[in-house]
Amino acid sequence: MDRYLLSCLLLVCMVLAYPSEIAAQRSRVCFAQSGDYTTATSIGFCSHAVYIALNPTSKAFVGILNPANDADDLLGGIRKFANLKKTYPYVDLYMGVLGSISAGNILWLNQQASRKTFIDLLITKMASYPEMSGNWYALFVAELNTALTAKNLKLITALPWDASASGDIYYSSTLSTLPFNVIKTHEEMYSAVATTTTRPISPLFSLAAPFNDETKTIEVVPLLPEEVLLLQEEVPLLQEVVQQLLVVAPLLLEEALLHQTQHRQLRHQPVHHQPRLPRQVQRSLHRLLPAILR
């Protein structure tokens, strides 16, 4: 009896865990500033959410891009964003520090004492938002990463699309040690024409039609015919397996509990109605389990 119960529960766990395993392999990094984000915006689709709200000042202090909206003593935009961790506990929240700023505001980067001042202030700022996972900045990324790691914070980078003009950033030895790095090929940051179109502005390789035409927007790439056939064939089988398990599992659990409370009487009595998986479902499981376990 216990053998069938354990087998059934194991299969339920395997079937239910499989979609989660697949989802865990995909990252959806969402960026937002106070101007294009509200507390009503759903971030449930994101695996990581970055709220770009801070910027370095000319004196190596930590400034706020939009104080009226984001300062805690005013509208509290940063605090509202951090509070979304309660609604979306599975989303990693990051604080974004603006890197596209005037050169006059980062002259202090060549001074070790000023870099330390900024990093210390930034960590103090982050400590007031424990819901956050980390933030990003460049050029002194190694020092910042070391300091953040010591405080159990994470560092990521949002890299500019033009690697040839930003080689010192791209060739930082720290990048490979970070949780992830985002290459911002999706923004038309330097377009002379205002546009809301999102498309790859500097692809890393030649794109097939229709993406080879820069006037085309990003479209959903259809599945290959063999992939469609595989989904059409396997998904119904998996759905049937789940439905059968949901029917059989309660019966097995009920009988196991009865067996536990009356084991002395039932020990020597045959079980007349032993719930078993239908043969078709058993065959489906034998077919699907190798793929699930891969």
Give CA separation, 130 vs 113, 124, 267, in Å.
Answer: 26, 11, 55
Amino acid at 132: M
Count helices and strands (H / E) in the chain: 9, 8
Contact by Cβ (8 Å): 53, 65: yes
pTM: 0.41
Residue 253's H or E segment, with its range, is helix 225-261
Residues of the chain with CATH 3.20.20.80: 29-179
Task: Fold for 29-179, please state it.
Answer: TIM Barrel (3.20.20)
> Residue 21 is encoded by which pair of tokens?
């395993």
Tell me the pLDDT of the chain (294 aa) as tens digits: 444 433 433 333 333 334 444 344 467 788 777 766 666 677 777 888 888 888 788 888 888 877 777 777 787 777 888 888 888 888 888 888 876 666 666 777 778 888 888 888 887 777 777 666 533 334 466 777 788 888 888 887 777 655 545 545 555 667 778 887 777 665 544 445 544 544 455 555 565 665 555 554 443 444 455 555 555 666 666 667 666 766 666 666 666 666 666 654 545 555 455 555 556 555 655 555 554 444
Round to whole Å and give the CA distance between 114 and 106.
10
Helices 2-24 and 279-293 cross at an angle (nearest 10°) of: 40
What is the distance, to the nearest Å, from the Cα of residue 147 to the centroid of all Cα atoms in its chain? 24
Alpha-carbon span 78 to 95, nearest angstrom: 9
- Calpha distance 104→128 (Å, rounded): 28
Report the distance separating Cα 176 and Cα 165, nearest Å: 20
**Which pair of tokens denotes residue 31?**
């960026």
3-state secondary structure 21-78: HHHHCCCCEEEECHHHCCCCCCCCCCCEEEEEEEEECCCCCEEECCHHHHCCCCCCHH
